[in-house]
Structure 1
Amino acid sequence: MQQQRKTIALLIFLVIVWGINWPLSKIALHYAPPLLFAGIRTVIAGVILIAAALPKLKELQFRRLWPVYLVSAFLSIVFYYGFQTIGLQYVPSGLFSAIVFLQPVLLGIFAWLWLGESMYGLKLAGLVLGFLGVASLSIGGFTGSISVPGIVLALASALSWAFATVYTKRNAARVDMLWMTAMQIMIGGLVLLAAGSATESWTDITWNAAFIVNTLFISVFVIALGWMVYFSLIKEGEAGKVGSFTFLIPLISIGSSVVLLHERITLNLVVGLLLIVGSIVLVNFKKDVRRPTH
């Protein structure tokens, strides 16, 4: 019972911080260029995670595992946060998060293709619903009310996260997950910071209270603690439950975006979000009730 309460508490924490991340990031982007902002927040999180992983220094094995860390850093951090931070400038944060959290649906396809996971009726129906949801969300882009580049960047962000999850699962037995998380975030953060320094100007950052507080909150709670909690739940055998709870994140994102940013809720957004919620529930439902036969 105590373990169950701990799991529920961690899931609630994860859903809340990953949900409010989107409007907070959009607010911070008013004061900083996208790549520099992505790099700053990710490097801070990387420093925190490396400090947490230092007691397990022997598990790092950087000389042998650096290629795994590097590929993971580009998929999980450089591409995911890069596409995300740039894309948030073009579309409402609630809409962007709804598309990004199509990731579990994309992961269902990739796990079937590359990890040998089964494909069955409910999962297939969920995949179809998911793509219909993205189509509904994207209608505004083709009528000119929502930026098409923003929709494309949101899909690219979801794809990179799905690829990163498959890659991590395929290499999970070779690495320590805390060091994997710390290395991918630090390496990815340094790449984003270098790209931002080369293409953007540090003088364009407004170091006011809103930017500093939002950046520190995202660095500590969303990236560092968020990913530590995520992998802690997976390590405890809660991966399916984490997946099924992610559909709540866009709901919290949209709700907090309405409150903090006064974003409008349109019919396309509601229909698309409901389809994506239904999609993710169907894709995860079977996963929760099936048990391995080996």
Structure 2
Amino acid sequence: MAARSQLTAAAGPATRHATRERAAIALLILAWGATFAAVKVGLESSPPILFAGLRALLGGAVMAVLAWSRSGRPVLAGQGRDYSLLTALNVLLFFGLQTVAIGLLPSGLAAVLIYLQPVLVGLLAWWLLGEPMTPSRISGLVLGFAGIVVVGGGAFAGHVSPAGVALAVASALAWALGTIVFKSTDGRIDGWWAVALPFLGGGALLTLVGLVVEGPDITWSPQFVAALAFAGLVGTALAWSLWFGLVSAGEAGRAASYIFFVPLVGVVIGAIVLGETLTVSLLVGAALVVLGVYLVNCRPRRG
């Protein structure tokens, strides 16, 4: 009886941790999935680079307040290289390149190419961080990406911009490298400031570039303000905090596998909020994604 009580007590914290992790994953998927619709609404009233900069700047400002209240003043000594890489990869290159790519490509095709990121993270984490790459994980990554391809398959018809394809793939690579850089810091920098400072600095630079290149041509309608607020507060501050929290708590490749669900949720929310069409390919793609995520995350049984 005493041994059973001890086992139950030991299982309690593990169960609570698993529950919190599942809740964080679900919230992250919903936040990033809904952000597609918010950005689409926002781009009706703003140039793309300027919108991306304002979104990053707003999210970074909120995160800076939270980071200061939770962690105090940021420690910058000896961490300039880490912060510079996170800013360049996760904000300037990822946000900037994906925004331009979406302007050159059908949105479905752009999403398929940008969500090469989980596959790239799995490969880079195996190559650079020494994380295991089992046959099950390889199969899961391939099936997950195949599901995204099926969902966005209709976008492959028609004219495709080679420059748009190259920019979308480059943005996926930048995001994957940014994830590996954060994982490789291994606690050297505070997780809150790892989001706040890059998005503050990168958002300011993107906003400046947008003002110079595109001009301040923004229609400040209630719809635009709501879209910008959601994209900045939920899609950036909240979502990226959850993302880095999951990456720091486990394997980078495993955490990245979950975001295969994001474009699926984005398609459903687009159908509900924006009246976009749901197709049979969504159901087939969803089945492939679910199977892929299971294979990536299942653990081999011990003898």
Give the alignment's Cα RMSD to 1 decimal: 3.1
Structure 2 CA distance for aligned equivalents of residues 134 and 7 of structure 1 = 24
Q: 1:14 aligns with which of 3, 28, 33?
A: 28
Q: How does 1:44-193 map to 2 (within 5 A)?
A: 44-55=58-69, 56-58=71-73, 60-91=74-105, 93=107, 95-129=109-143, 132=146, 143-144=157-158, 149-193=163-207
Cα distance, 1:156–1:29 mapped onto 2, change above 3 Å? same
| TM-score normalized by the length of structure 1 | 0.83
Task: Verify the 8 A CA contact 1:96 1:154 in the aligned structure 2.
Answer: yes
Q: How does 1:203-222 map to 2 (within 5 A)?
A: 204-222=217-235
Pairing 1:229–2:229 present:
no
Shift of 1:188: 1.4
Structure 1 CA distance for aligned equivalents of residues 226 and 44 of structure 2 = 13
| TM-score normalized by the length of structure 2 | 0.81
Shift of 1:137: 6.7
Q: Match of 2:131, SS?
A: coil
Shift of 1:43: 0.5
Q: Match of 1:89, SS?
A: helix
Structure 1 CA distance for aligned equivalents of residues 160 and 287 of structure 2 = 19
Q: Match of 1:88, SS?
A: helix
Structure 2 CA distance for aligned equivalents of residues 86 and 213 of structure 1 = 22
Shift of 1:230: 2.6
Structure 2 CA distance for aligned equivalents of residues 144 and 79 of structure 1 = 27
Structure 2 CA distance for aligned equivalents of residues 126 and 4 of structure 1 = 21
Cα distance, 1:216–1:77 mapped onto 2, change above 3 Å? same
Cα distance, 1:271–1:9 mapped onto 2, change above 3 Å? closer
Structure 2 CA distance for aligned equivalents of residues 135 and 259 of structure 1 = 22
Cα distance, 1:259–1:35 mapped onto 2, change above 3 Å? same
Pairing 1:285–2:298 present:
yes
Higher CA-based Rg:
2
Shift of 1:27: 1.3
Cα distance, 1:284–1:104 mapped onto 2, change above 3 Å? farther
Worse-superposed segment, 127-136 or 116-125: 127-136
Task: Verify the 8 A CA contact 1:98 1:273 in the aligned structure 2.
Answer: no
Cα distance, 1:238–1:119 mapped onto 2, change above 3 Å? closer
Worse-superposed segment, 170-179 or 121-130: 121-130
Worse-superposed segment, 188-197 or 127-136: 127-136
Structure 1 CA distance for aligned equivalents of residues 267 and 169 of structure 2 = 17
Amino acid at match of 2:243: Y
Identity %: 34
What is the total number of aligned residue pairs between the two structures? 287
Q: 1:36 aligns with which of 17, 36, 50?
A: 50
Amino acid at match of 1:154: A
